[in-house]
Structure 1
Amino acid sequence: MNQKVVLITGCSSGIGLSLAVRIAKDEKKRFMVYATMRNVSRGAALVEAAGKTLGRTLEIKQLDVCDEKSIKACVDSLPERKVDILISNAGMGLIGPIECQTIDEMKTVMDTNFFGLVRLLQEVLPDMKKRKKGHIVVISSVMGIQGILFNDVYAASKFAVEGFCESLAVQALRFNLNISLIEPGPVITEFERKVFEEGMKVDLSKADKVTADMFTNIYLKNYSQIFETLGQTPEDIAEHTLKIITMDNPPFRHQTNTLYTPMTTLKYADPNGDLPIDTFYKMVFEHDKVFNASLNFLKMLRWRSRKSFTIDKDKDKDKAS
């Protein structure tokens, strides 16, 4: 069988780990997965989750998206340097008031989340162009569409990714290549737990009292409840991604969480851009009871639905066709 080669970054935990395992365990064995991570000594969880696929449809390799030599060495180690599907997943988060963050911290986020993708494509894209075949899948975020309170730098990195891919997609069509942006909302992972823990440690001494109070008593206070209500599992994101990479005509953008869609739709409803900003402001500062009631209502919807709406609908369509 002619398996497609899938290269995935950031596979030591979270979404990357779930992606690697789910694709490697594809029932039809359509893929050979190269799951990469910056530090392979952190691969124990992936090894355990991979089970019998390890050494068969899954191999673990070292790759640091912030190091061009590391990327080249990894791609050079693949048979004929061939990558059919690149899944750019490696990333890092940063929350808090910008006056409490250093420029170096911000640069690290941009270097990983944005320039990490650029480095990958500089190495992989030329070969895809020559073959006129390939699929670039980027694990982006709804924060690449709409900024969220105290996620200024993280949102900026994802906006950069979205703009970069939107521009590149036009060129890619000329070479018969597909680009897909997977846009999750909150996902319950070790990644998010670490971001929250780092947020709890932020030195707020450089922030004014109002900003510090806003971050501590509004943002951090509601962080867990928002994830509990809207949060998806990394396995759910993996299912959505598998669906995207097996489609004949994959979409450019795909949001994984239908419960979050009304929030991102606000941006497109008002060309001036005021509607989403005003709505979020009122939700956060003026209608605390409405905000909590909305979360409880969404929680009920999540409990009733259990599974991803879009995937279930697609499965039904497949059965009917």
Structure 2
Amino acid sequence: MNQKVVLITGCSSGIGLALAVRFANDEKKRFMVYATMRNLSKSKALVEAAGRSLGRTLEIKQLDVCDENSIKACVDSLPERRVDILISNAGLGLIGPIECQSIEQMKVVMDTNFFGFVRLLKEILPDMKRRKRGHIVVISSVMGIQGMLFNDIYSASKFAVEGFCESLVVQSMRFKINITLIEPGPVITEFEHKVYGEGLKTDLSKADKDTADMFTNIYLKNYREIFESVGQTAEDIAEHTLMIVTMDNPPFRHQTNMLYTPMTTLKYADPSGDLSIDEFYKMVFEHDKVFHASLNFLKLLRWRSRKSFSLEKSK
């Protein structure tokens, strides 16, 4: 049986690393994985996690999604430039009041999360069209369909990706190319540790008192609790992704966290958008006791099922 060639971006840690290891260690050996990252000096964790699959069903390559030459060089190095499954995972996060963020910071997030994906497609899509087959998988987010407090720019980048893919998928179907948006909710990874840590260091001097208080005492205060209550692991996302790419008719969108799905369902229930916005507002500012009680209940269920997570690194 011919192996499918899988190219994954952002594999130095987190979801990308978990994806690379899971696909490379597929019991049926259905995949040849090219795990890529911007900086190869950060490949140690992947090398250790890959184990015996390294050099067999997994190879590590350099690829910077913000550099067209880097992308081309990586694809040119593949046998026949063939990519059967592209998993676009590389990304950056940014939280906080927009008054405290520079336009340059915002541009970097958009350049990586949105234009990075577009650069990949410009290089890989023509060959998929020529072969009339392929699967484009994007690790998106529920924040690509539901905006979130103090995640304005990150949500904007994911909305851009989702709108782009929704436009492209109709054309792609004519070439028998599948596109799937994987939409996790909270995921406990180094990515989240970093975003949370940077959020704690935000200079709030340019924000008014009410906004600064909202970010510190509502958003950051609840950040860890939400992740510890409903957060998934990177390995969970890898399992969902493997399931999707092995389907005969993969869906266009797939949410990985059923605990979070009711939140996004509100948006689809009311085309005006008023229902979801009103409920989010009440949950944050009026029903905080019920909100915390619900999170504590979910955390208890996780603990009892031995699946509780923490944003605190084990010492």
Q: Same fold (TM over 0.5)?
A: yes
Which residue identity does 1:265 align to in structure 2?
A: T
The CA deviation string for residues 52-109 of structure 1, in whole angstroms up to 9 with x for no partner, is: 0000000000000000000000000000000000000000000000000000000000
The correspondence of residues 47-196 of structure 1 with structure 2, limited to 5 A, is: 47-196=47-196
Indicate the larger mover: 74-83 or 287-296: 287-296
The correspondence of residues 1-321 of structure 1 with structure 2, limited to 5 A, is: 1-303=1-303
The CA deviation string for residues 161-190 of structure 1, in whole angstroms up to 9 with x for no partner, is: 000000000000000000000000000000
Distance 2:82 2:88 in 1: 16
SS of the residue 2:35 aligns to: strand
Which residue identity does 1:170 align to in structure 2?
A: V
SS of the residue 2:258 aligns to: coil
The CA deviation string for residues 10-65 of structure 1, in whole angstroms up to 9 with x for no partner, is: 00000000000000000000000000000011000000000000000000000000
Which residue identity does 1:220 align to in structure 2?
A: L
Which residue identity does 1:38 align to in structure 2?
A: R
SS of the residue 1:242 aligns to: helix
> Structure 1 stretches (4+) deviating beyond 3 angstroms?
300-307
SS of the residue 1:90 aligns to: coil
SS of the residue 1:114 aligns to: helix
Q: 1:166 to 1:45 in 2, by over 3 A?
A: same
SS of the residue 1:34 aligns to: strand
Shift of 1:306: 6.4
Distance 1:212 1:61 in 2: 42
TM-score normalized by the length of structure 2: 0.96
Residue correspondences, number: 307
SS of the residue 2:21 aligns to: helix
Distance 2:257 2:31 in 1: 26
Which residue identity does 2:43 align to in structure 1?
A: G
Corresponding residue for 1:316? none
Distance 1:247 1:287 in 2: 41
- Structure 2: gaps spanning 5 or more residues: 308-315
Shift of 1:300: 3.9
Shift of 1:287: 1.2
Distance 2:254 2:304 in 1: 23
Shift of 1:301: 4.3
Structure whose residues are more often helix by fraction: 1
Distance 1:276 1:40 in 2: 42
Distance 1:71 1:237 in 2: 25
Q: Percent identity?
A: 84
Shift of 1:271: 1.2
The CA deviation string for residues 280-304 of structure 1, in whole angstroms up to 9 with x for no partner, is: 1111111111110121233344456
Distance 1:145 1:206 in 2: 29
Shift of 1:118: 0.2
TM-score normalized by the length of structure 1: 0.94
- Structure 1: gaps spanning 5 or more residues: 308-321
